[in-house]
Structure 1
Amino acid sequence: MHSFTHDGFDLAFIDRAPETGSGEPVLLIHGFASTHHVNWVAPGWVKTLSEAGYRVIAFDHRGHGKSTKSYDPDDYTPDAMADDASALLDHLSIDRAHVFGYSMGARVSTFLALRHPEKVATLILGGLGYGMVDGVGDWDPIAEALMADDATTIDHPRGKMFRTFADQTKSDRKALAACIAKSRELLSEDELAGITQPTLVGVGTRDDIAGSAKKLADLMPDAEAFDIEGRDHMLAVGDRTFKAKVLEFLKAHPLG
């Protein structure tokens, strides 16, 4: 892995050359409590995209993985995290890239497209649909679950799911609790209507967190929705039909 410094954080990242050619860059932005490895390497995305001829860049968000941790919630706004992604592109001298985010990473990707539209050629949003606008439920129990001394005392289903996930990824639970406090900022329908880049929104049909992919896609002038059949929030990311759809979408929208 490599690292660079932005806004006082050392951010760890990978930069994988394509199997053949120079490759158009694809920036991958992972979800809450995950890492670049858990979200993108382990489910086969880095391999899939590299083999398809793309240059693959993925990083660990502040507070996650091998990047610097903070326990100050104000460090985890979507604006700040989107600016980390923009700074990584600058660090690598990449003017424009395809941007693909999952769950919280989809929210950060959308903020990136709004704050730095010239850098985002296309946008792929996985695991987050209309929840971008109307929220994704009450996440206070998740913060409580992350900070619980004894995981066996957690009875909130979603809290238990994310606590188990955080423990599996060996995450800094205090940093994640700070992150969850400020990273869920919503966007308005009017703001989303201003995203003109070609956009793909993919959500699992059993995902009870993300909200409707179609309802979100309908807000944007050049967006399409994709139902990831039979998958919930955790399993949709590695789905083979989703991989095929993403490759089809990228091929249809070259950087040019």
Structure 2
Amino acid sequence: MNLDAPPFSSFRNDGLDLAYFDDGDPAGEPVLLIHGFASSASVNWVYPGWLRTLGDAGYRVIAIDNRGHGGSAKPHDPEAYHPTSMAADAAALLTHLGIADAHVMGYSMGARISAFLAIEHPDRVRSLVFGGLGIGMCDGVGDWDPIADALLAPSLDDVSHERGRMFRAFADQTKSDRLALAACIRTSRDLVRREDIARVEIPTLIGVGTKDDIAGSPHELAELMPRAVALDIPNRDHMLAVGDRVFKKAALDFYSELAGN
């Protein structure tokens, strides 16, 4: 299987140069992919096989490197990273590509951004797939300040906090800008209000690993939304659920069902 990343292009929004790829079948229905914290379009969507899965199924596959990540601009000001701003980046990418609306799939922080996109730009979203984030998008996902501290520590050896070590190791592995990520983690966790997500009538699939201790319940979130279904991804934690075959099959089935309606 060829898991090389496709060519990236860039566009400008909010004074920032933002990287993206546009691959798959150009005549297919567009799917916009929004990655998670400390990840990138390639790490979240190409290497775990999503680009191949969706492309082989006939979709046009678009993915953005969120600000602070991948090949995009990396401001060090926390005010740059509110999810409403990153949702505006995603909407601007669709405009840049001349796409009126798309299926939108986000993982973890990308699911939160996708939720803000659906709330603030509902005409741009055909459907939603949230991965790696359930009711935590409304209720919070625990104390993340130690993660910012871990990102700013001199080295991984100086980090004792378990989740902090996990994200610091991931950031080191992906050669990320740790100052940008530390800024991002401080403001990208703005909560989605329950009353706002309850008004999102877009068809939604919510997939969370059964061993995920970050996301919160997908079922509780689905119960809030008029047209949402929850998916338990068996025996997967937050890091491993993203590429799981059960998740991929459920997403393809979800899209097929929408096409049949």
Shorter-chain-normalised TM-score: which range?
over 0.9
2:207 aligned residue: 202
SS in 1 for 2:224: coil
Partner in structure 2 of residue 125 of structure 1:
130
1:180 paired with 2:161, answer: no
CA–CA distance in structure 2, aligned partners of residues 76 and 153 of structure 1: 26
1:222 to 215, 219, 227: 227
Counterpart pick for 1:237 among 229, 242, 245? 242
Q: Say if 2:41 is the partner of 1:51.
A: no
For the aligned residue pairs, the C-alpha RMSD in angstroms reads 1.0
CA distance in 1, matches of 2:191, 2:41: 24
- How many Å separate the matches in 2 of 1:255 and 1:115? 27
Counterpart in 1 of 2:105? 100
Secondary structure in 2 matching 1:253: helix
Q: Cα deviations across residues 140-163 of structure 1 (Å, max 9, x unaligned)?
A: 000000000021021100000000
1:170 to 152, 172, 175: 175
Following superposition, the deviation at residue 183 of structure 1 comes to: 0.4
Q: AA paired with 2:153?
A: A
1:121–1:255: 8 Å Cα contact kept in structure 2?
A: no
Q: Percent identity?
A: 61
- Looking at structure 2, the residues matched to 8 and 188 of structure 1 have their Cα atoms a distance apart, in angstroms, of 28
2:35 touches 2:44 (CA, 8 Å); kept in 1?
Answer: yes
Provide the C-alpha distance between the structure 2 equivalents of 1:14 and 1:214, rounded to a whole number of angstroms.
Answer: 32
The letter of the residue matching 1:11 is L
Partner residue in 1 for 2:16: 9
Alignment of 1:23-34 (within 5 A): 23-34=28-39
How big is the shift at 1:253?
A: 1.1
Any conservation in 2 of the 1:24–1:255 contact (CA below 8 Å)?
A: no
What secondary structure, in the 3-state scheme, does the structure 2 residue paired with 1:57 have?
strand
**Aligned-pair distance for 1:89?**
0.1
Q: Once the two structures are superposed, what CA deviation does each residue of 1:214-242 show, in whole Å capped at 9, x if it has no partner?
A: 00011000000000000000000000011
Consecutive unaligned residues in structure 2, runs of 5 or more: 1-7
Distance apart, 1:255 and its partner CA: 9.7
Unaligned runs of 5+ in 1: none
Give me the whole-angstrom Cα distance separating, in 1, the residues matched to 2:247 and 2:170: 22
1:187 is displaced (CA, Å) by 1.4
Distance 2:122 2:28 in 1: 21
Change (3 A) 1:58 1:255: farther
Tell me the distance in 2 between the aligned counterparts of 1:255 and 1:164.
Answer: 43
Aligned equivalent of 1:159: 164
1:119-177 per-position Cα deviation (integer Å, ceiling 9, x unaligned)? 10000000000101110000000000000002102110000000001011110000000
How far, CA to CA, are the matches of 2:203 and 2:31 in structure 1?
A: 14
Count of residues paired in the alignment = 254
Corresponding position: 1:36 with 2:15: no
Q: After TM superposition, where is structure 1 displaced by more than 4 Å over at least 4 residues in a row?
A: none
Tell me the secondary structure at the aligned position of residue 185 of structure 2: helix
SS at match of 1:84: helix
User: Does the 8 Å CA contact 2:151/2:179 hold for their aligned counterparts?
Assistant: yes
Query: TM-score scaled by structure 2?
Result: 0.96
